[in-house]
Structures are given as C-alpha cells and as structure tokens.
Chain A
Amino acid sequence: MLTKKQLFTQGMLDISPHMLSVIPFGIICGAIGVELGFHPYLVYAMSFIIFGGASQIVFLQVLSGGASSLVAVASVGIINSRHLLYGAVLSEYLEKLSFIKKLLISYLVVDQGFAESNKFFKKNRTEEFLHYHLIGTGCTMWVCWQIATLSGIVLGSFVPEELGLKFAIPLTFIAIVVQDLKKLDHLIVMITCGLSSLLFFDAPFKSYIIISPIIALFVAALLLRLKK
C-alpha cells in the first residue's frame, strides 16, 4: 500500500514530462492575451478562474474578433465539455471520497492529468488513497500553468514564434495515446475521432471537440457489440 505522499509524488512524476509542451504553450497563451490588447490582470485571471489551455486562447480570440461575450462563454463551455467524459471515467475511482473532497478535486482535472492518472488508476485499483495521484498531476499542472502564463504575460512572447512550439501540443497527446495504437479497436476509435474532428472543424463554437468524441464513442459501442 502506497502512502499519500508516495502517490502524490508519483502523480507529479507521471505528468512532469508533459511540461515540455505545457510550459511553452502557457507562455504563448499569456503573450497572445496581452498582444490582443487585454489587460494583463484579466489575462492572468483566466489561468486561475478557467484554468484550461486552449479554451483561454479561444475566449480571447472570440472576444477580440468582435463577438459578444455570450459567444465567448459558450465557446469555452463547449470546448471544456470534454471534461464530462473524463469525470465519468474518474468517478469510479473517486467514489469513496466525501462530497466536499470531490468538489475540490474537480478543479484540478485537466487533459494530461486525467490521462496519466487514469493510466495509473487502471494498474493500481486497490490503492486506498488513489486520488492523491490525481492531486499530484493536477497540482503540478496548475503550478506550471500559472507560472508559464504569468511569464508570457510579463515578458511577452519570448519564445520565438518561428519555432512553432504550438506543435508540441498534438505531440504531447500522441505520447499519451500511442501505446493504444496496437489495439485494433482503439485504433479504429482514434481514426474515427480524428477524421470527424477534421470534418467538423468548422462547426460553430469549436464544437468539433465534443462532436467527434461522441461519434467515436458510438463507434466504440458498436465495436463492443461486434466483439460479443
């Protein structure tokens, strides 16, 4: 049985490689906000209040493009609706927690943290304090995100744009799913999602980000039926 501290540290270790892409992306996010003409305090407030990478950039771009704040808020809600799926997966492991603890831990659920903690949970179902792993991944992400966006806000885009570091984001997610490519069912689900996301890319409010997972999960359900 691992202690709370060991699980927390394991969570930190498991997510830390992703900081290679998260930190440059955070700097870019902060810098873009100021470049688009928003007050630095507002740009930073988003990292604290929304705490969600791409949705923060979209929010600012939509507003600076002249759309109403209602459209900006709706876009953020739709982009982040994928967390509903993460929560449904994580709920199995967090069931025993008190309601208050569930409310607090929810704030820390992010893409990479969900991915790494979910992998760990699957292998270590019997651990008593599993949620400390999620707190470890979430806190690491939170601290790095705050520092990265703040430095982008204060120092401007000191990461040269020519490096195209935004490309590190798809790479970080490739690293997350690449081992599942050898499973045919997962491969089919991934290709379905990827192609749907390109097909529906122009759908309003960036809704491709939730439309394509729903289509892919339908395909997954069909595959499960075929397997039987």
Chain B
Amino acid sequence: MTLTAIIFAGILTYLTRMTMIALISRDMLGDKIKAVLEYVPSAVFPAIIFPGIFINDFGTFIDMNDPKIFGALVAVIVGYFSKNIIATISAGLISYWFLIFVVFN
C-alpha cells in the first residue's frame, strides 16, 4: 500500500521534472516569459531559505533572538565576500553552534 503511494509520488515528481524539458519547446515561450524566467533562482530558493530559518520544527515562528537568524546573517556576509559555498555553509553552522553551545549554554 505504502509502496504504491511511493510509486505514484515518484511518477508525479518525475512528471514535474520532465514536462518542461521534454514536452515544451523553447519557441512556445515568448521573449517576455524568457526574461521573467531569468529570475527563477531568486524567486524559488528563498521559499526554502526563509522557512528553514524562521520556522521551527513545530511549524511556529522562532524568537527574534534565535541563533539561526544570527547564523544566517553570518552566512550571507561570508558568502557575499568569499563567493565560496563551503565557507558560507561552515560560517553559518559554526556561528550557530557557537551561540547554542557556548553563549546560550
């Protein structure tokens, strides 16, 4: 039963990946749409970033002094200047850990 559901979920997921690549030709999209599509990364990824920072495991908002906010800010600053993915992630995690294990402990 669960396996059937997994297979359906898999087919649905595959369709979301395949539809625009295999079934739509680029000519079907006008220049205006192409220009808007330039913004896809900026329009999609914050929907993963913001809830990952501001909403906790129980689906409620975190406090304004939550260490995650500080960690995210450090990651933004380090990422902006270093242009390095590993430095960005490490800086965010380490500053977050510093707060939860050293400062707030």
Contacts and interface: CB of A to CB of B under 8 A. Distances in A.
Given A17-B85, A172-B89, A217-B39, A194 B17 contact: no
A193 B37 CA distance: 14
Contacts of A191: 46
B76 A164 contact: no
Interface stretch (A46-54, A142-150, A151-159): A46-54
A40 B17 CA distance: 26
A21 B89 CA distance: 8
A158 B80 CA distance: 32
A80 interface: yes
Interface in A166-195: 166-182, 185-186, 189-195
B36 interface: yes
B64 interface: no
Nearest to A172: B89
Nearest to A21: B89
Counting chain A residues whose Cβ lies within 8 A of the other chain, the interface size class is: 35 or more
Contacts of A162: 100
A175 B35 contact: no
Interface string A69-94: 10011001100111111111111101
Main secondary structure of the interface of B (DSSP, over half): helix
Nearest to A68: B5
A23 to B, nearest CB: 12
A167 B92 contact: yes
B6 to A, nearest CB: 5
Contacts of A87: 16-21, 24
Nearest to A200: B47
Nearest to B8: A73
A164 to B, nearest CB: 7
B6 A59 contact: yes
B43 A88 contact: no
Given A84-B20, A90-B21, A197 B13 contact: no
A186 B40 CA distance: 10
15 contacts: A72-B9, A87-B20, A88-B33, A95-B25, A102-B21, A106-B18, A109-B21, A163-B97, A174-B79, A177-B46, A178-B76, A179-B80, A190-B42, A213-B40, A220-B36
Rank and list the top 5 A-B pairs by shortest CB-CB distance, nearest first: A87-B20, A170-B52, A49-B10, A17-B85, A69-B5
Interface of A: 17-18, 20-21, 38-39, 42, 45-46, 49-52, 54-55, 59, 63, 69, 72-73, 76-77, 80-92, 94-95, 99, 102-103, 105-107, 109, 111, 115, 118, 162-182, 185-186, 189-198, 201-202, 208-209, 212-213, 216-217, 220-221, 224
Interface of B: 1-10, 12-14, 16-22, 24-26, 29, 32-55, 59, 61, 68, 71-72, 75-76, 79-80, 83-86, 88-90, 92-93, 96-97, 100
